Amino acid sequence: MITAELKGRKAHMTGASSGIGLATVELFARSGAAVALNHLPNDDRGREQVERLRGEGFDIIAAPGNVAEPGNAEAMVEKAIQDLGGLDYLFNNAGTPVTSSPIPPDELDKLDEAFWQAILNTNLIGPYRCTRAAASALKAAKGAVVNTASIAGLGQQGSSSAYAAGKSGLVSLTRSLARGLGPQVRVNAVAPGAVNSPWQKDWPEERKRASIENAVLKRRCEPEDIAEVVLFLCEGAAMVTGQTIAIDGGLTL
């Protein structure tokens, strides 16, 4: 696991009660950053992780809120910035597949209006809400934004057609935000492949095996693999902006 010297840096991570978000919180905290851990207000896992990490001596604050709700998302980000005393890095990781198992592209009736709204409000508009709310603080710090896209946004199917469309939109939004916030702020995205996370625990075993067999590196990603690239894009990569980096062990090669 790589680390960096982040003492004095301030980071805000959305969707951070488990999986990729939590792994990224831990990596930044162990590197010395003060971190705001966002979780849904009714998610006990988030509160438990904040208490655990504080108990280990890390500088962690809780930032409950729902990025899918206009007004709530912005208020959550603004309070986190106030509590942290500024912001250097924003990791827009909160997202939802809505479904616990993949929906084939020919099953159109399963993707009703409520399904689409849940996908787009969380996975696409949510990152925009949070970035807009953080823009002034990030510009002042000459900071960085990283969005969690997916290989589903790079031509793969993902858990549903709606999920793939939302993540494709986030890849495009990443480029637009890079143009809009530059030169002060860099904006990039990571595109995970198959990840050992709570999201995919109920996926068919055949599909899980295929994600290993078809990957060049012959394994599924761990959340820590994604966190390392987020750290690189935030603290390093000084001339990288508007890009989406696939982290899939060669699954899409």
pLDDT on residue 152? 95
The 3-class secondary structure across the chain, one letter per residue, is: CCCCCCCCCEEEECCCCCHHHHHHHHHHHHCCCEEEEEECCCCHHHHHHHHHHHHCCCCEEEEECCCCCCCHHHHHHHHHHHHHCCCCEEEECCCCCCCCCCCCCCCHHHCCHHHHHHHHHHHHHHHHHHHHHHHHHHHHHCCEEEEECCHHHHCCCCCCHHHHHHHHHHHHHHHHHHHHHCCCCEEEEEEECCECCHHHCCCCHHHHHHHHHCCCCCCCECHHHHHHHHHHHHHCCCCCCCCEEEECCCCCC
Q: Is the pTM of this model over 0.75?
A: yes
128 labelled catalytic:
no
Q: What is the pLDDT of residues 143-192, one digit of tens each?
A: 999 999 999 999 998 899 999 999 999 999 999 999 999 999 999 999 99
Q: What is the pLDDT of residues 99-135, one digit of tens each?
A: 988 899 999 999 999 999 999 999 999 999 999 999 9
pLDDT band at 49 (very low <50, low <70, confident <90, very high): very high
Rounded to the nearest integer, the mean pLDDT of the chain is 95
pLDDT on residue 214? 87
Catalytic position from the list 163, 168, 215, 227: 163
